[in-house]
Structure 1
Amino acid sequence: MYQYQGFWYNCGILGVGPLAVQDHFKALPCDILIASIPKCGSTWLKSLAFSVMNRRSHPPTQHQQHPLLSFNSHDLVPGLETKLYNNNFNGNRIPNPDILPSPRLLGTHMPYTSLPQSVTLSGSRIVYICRNTKDNLVSWWHFLNKIRMNVSLEPMKLEEVFEMFCEGVSAFGPFWDHVLGYWKFSLERPQNVLFLKYDEMVTEPSLHLKRIAEFMGCPFSSMEEKEGVVDQIIKLCSFENLSNLAVNKIGTGDNDFPNSGFFRQGKVGDSANYLSPEMMEKLDCITKQKFHGSSLTL
């Protein structure tokens, strides 16, 4: 792990991806970034955003031909620092995102303050998703151990990851600083940042999917809503459907990491099955302290 501009990165996974993004990526006004700290629902959000944007060419009812059946959502919506500009996967080659179809749909886990200045200056739109702190921690712990198993390392104990998380040491963390950065920008420029909460999306997926479509510039027509297109996309991108697809059960992505690693349960409140009351109280206390005066609650 190394710290850069106040946030933590895993050099073994990312190489110099974040630095390469800052040096080489030039945002366009039509770009749409799907942003989050890891394990906040980005796999689901990428699937939804891709399906919304491409619903004309790939109707959600055409299950046999839909790209989500053959590709993991992280392949369809490539991450800037994790895929496009990651020298561990691309060697010394600098990619050319200009060949991607417009509008470009891209992903990032980088904090807002570390994004290239062109993102702000160009007027690119960002769809950001966050999650309650306790569920994020437990999900990250499970994911971290899947990564470690994949490279034959011993799993880390929850207590150890918990202490590191509380100190801000987690991928792209501190968690609270990451969330606050995008939250403040969403208040300053709501036309450029749509701030979503995973817990609320799970409760009212239809409402938030329509918000996402409108923000991305491709709102659902009254006819589409009448024909059930919104519900079709929600069903196509549901945890139950995506996690049972062959590409996400036995397929692998970059670095031979299994796509199944991106799917566990997706439930809200699952952290209560792992964290002690003392752990939960400490996380709540830190969250309240960090978010004080921001009007943000998780």
Structure 2
Amino acid sequence: VTGNINFDFEQFEYNPDRSDKSPETEKYVWDNLSGKITLKKEKRVSISVVTGEICGIQTTGVLNKAPDRTSLKVSTDKEVKNDLQELFACIGIKKQNMTGLFSLDAKIEGVPDNWDNGHVEFECNNGKIKNFTALSKLLTIVNVADLFSLHGIKDFFSTGYPYSKAKLTGKISDNSLIINDFSMIGNGLNMFASGTIGFNKQMDIIVLVKPFKVIDSVLTVIPWVGMDLGNGQKAIALIPIQVKGKTGDPEVSLYTGKHLNLGQKHVRDFFKKTASLPSKIYRSFESGDSGNVK
């Protein structure tokens, strides 16, 4: 059987067939849902959503389903910022670690447990990150309590880390999200990151923390991080942190250049472009210099 079916629903309900679903996620409701279903040969189906609103978010998308492969593309209107908290509440996520207004453009291809192609572009503005284990560990290592107090964030760990803009671009490969470029512009410091988040809930990411002020001189024992600004004053251009392990509770540690794989072009480009490294520091990367932090 082949052919097209146009649909236009004032309201459409979907009940996931999951044994672990909670009362909050027993059903999803789309309003003003319209599009087309295309039945193709060899049991292939394509569903195109032209208009639809779910969880207060206007979305469009295309689902292509074949016996051996699935692809899904979802996007929101970039001109319309959607509320993360409203989305979390709608899909039953009780622990809302991030607030802000977001837009999304994503595509994923493959099969469950082996997603092998796609891309993700995510941007979020004017929000906070709170109760997030990896970030709390990261900031504890960097020891920026004094820095945040200068910016009026005395209760950071209880109220959250405020940011003005967060943006992520990446691709899907080998059942993982490969983060090509992540940046977060915050109140007190900026953060940049590149690495991998596996759909098996394992992650390996390098985060560069770029403070707005001079940090404790102890951290200048990492040669390619500390830089002499003149008159004997040491300043930190950026602080590298490795976040690795389970996504819910990863290990976080200071990162040294000796483990950095500069043989990968995207890693070199990331450090050059995102961190805006002075040439003196970048030369230390390439020469393999590193410091020891005990």
Structure (1/2) with the larger strand percentage = 2
What range is the shorter-chain TM-score in?
under 0.3
Q: Which has the higher contact order (CA 8 A, sep 6+)?
A: 1
> If you compute each CA radius of gyration, which structure gives the higher value, 1 or 2?
2
TM-score normalized with structure 1 length? 0.25
